Amino acid sequence: MNNLNITKTGNVVGILSTVFFLFCMAWGLILTAPELKELHLNILRIVYPGFSMSIIGATAGIVASFIYGWLFGALFAWLCNKICIEEENK
């Protein structure tokens, strides 16, 4: 089995995380019930520090989502390389 490239995997997961964040942000704008909209935006504020419904807040959320995704993807690739390679060598 080939090794996963940590940088490429991190970039792919970071980009997917950013797209998911943008979808969630758009969904929060589409919601019509004020209670659901407030709940949704509060969850985004908890998960992404510095997020608000402004250009600067959205940019902070985009950057944070990419960083979270990149770190998760890189950790996944690193663990997969460690575990899969060790299992193959046994």
Q: What is the pTM of this model?
A: 0.82
User: Comparing C-alpha atoms, which of 83, 89, 87 is closest to residue 4?
Assistant: 83
Task: Locate the domains of the chain by residue range.
Answer: 6-84
Q: What's the length of the chain?
A: 90
Exposed / middle / buried, residue 73 (Cβ in 10 Å: 0-12, 13-18, 19+):
buried
Per-residue pLDDT of the chain (90 residues; tens, 9 = 90+): 578 899 999 999 999 999 999 998 888 888 888 898 888 888 888 988 888 888 998 899 999 999 999 999 999 999 988 888 666 666
